[in-house]
Structure 1
Amino acid sequence: MHEDGLGGRKDVLEARRLFGLAAAQGHERALSEAERLANAMAESLLAEEEAEKGKASKVKKKKKKNKSSNQVRLDAKAEAGLAVEAELAREQAEAREIEAANALVTAREQEGAEAAQAEVESKAAQAEMEEQARKQAEQEAQAAEAQAQAAAAAAAATEKARKPPDHFLCPITQDVMIDPVSAADGHMYERRAIEDWFIGHSTSPMTGAKLEVKILFPNYAIRGLIRTWQEVQRSVRES
């Protein structure tokens, strides 16, 4: 409180003095003056209290305003920080998306390369299999041809073995001779065939030359060879 002026320390002392005087002497003037001073002091105190309240309110408002300003700045900083964090998060998300896309592209390229390599290897394997099949077919064909040639040779050999030699055949009948004989022309004939020939001819069946004699000579050597050959053929057929 103020020490000077209305409502100050002097007013309080004066009010006490007047109240004491009025109480001692019973003067109305003193009481009236004391009442005036008391009212003035009360008004002054009230005004001072209001002023203090106003100051306190202003200080409070200022503090609140300062606090609000600080809070606004803090909120702005927080929002700015959140915005920065959000931007960083967005950039990181974009980076992850780009990385994932690149990884996907790389994976697809690798998959395509692997597929191409697999196709090349498959074609190479197929070509190798075809080449092996071709070689095997050639070998089988060669083996079949060799087998056919062997069979043909065997058949030819068998046929040749079955076919009698030309000197075993009678030139007249073209059959294997049973009783081979030699004539004056130097050729061998089946006895019955040449004898039948001489009935109506006096020439050689082979050369056409005239034969002075019709004597026939048995050829025992050829007969023995023919019989041996016939026995061999008989054994082959039976086996």
Structure 2
Amino acid sequence: RHITLDEIGRRIALGEFKELNIILKGDVDGSVEALTDSFQKLSTDEIQVNIIHKGVGAITESDVLLASASDAIVIGFNVRPMGNARDIADKEEIDIRMYSIIYDAINDLKDAMEGMLSPVMKEEISGTAEIRETFKISKIGTIAGCMVTTGKIFRNSSIRLIRDGVVIFTGELSSLKRFKDDVKEVAKGYDCGLQVKNYNEIKEGDIVEAFREVAVKKKL
């Protein structure tokens, strides 16, 4: 499959460096040069925009074949495909985008590239719980009786144990219960029982902080 503007956001190139190849055709030199300058200014450290061919006139078969060979998208400004160019583009699955307003072309490319940028991983705290009592059970370990004090604790969250404001352990839960039932989440104001995977040195007064990593789209 060849690259398309819609697919850019899902296509992760090998390695850290990414390139977007463009074949640009326009009605007059002025619009071609204006778009060339604008597109090249969208290049970042992570994505290089390459205008591999540009010209004045209709989109031709050779433009489409070049796009196929170089995994490029074709952008036309006030021009259309000519002859068999459209049929070849359909067969080769080449993305041809046609515009009549320069800003639309620039904004579409910018939006596509923002989807292509590597996301930043950001931590999101979902909730906290205070350990009110502990129970040591042979062959199982230490179970903590807790009260959820903010947000929600999720069974599949990553967790930190905080004692006197200091993080003493980071890991995950091996169980989360309401009374005797396994549950997926417990909300603020409710009691729960939980067990921390591979860690039994929990104490009354410890705080359990539940968090997860979320991907945040980078902006250009």
Shorter-chain TM band = under 0.3
Q: Choose between structure 1 and 2 for higher RCO, CA contacts under 8 A separated by at least 6 residues.
A: 2
TM-score, length basis structure 1? 0.20
Greater CA radius of gyration, 1 or 2? Answer: 1
Task: Compare the two structures and name the one with the higher helix fraction.
Answer: 1
TM-score, length basis structure 2? 0.22
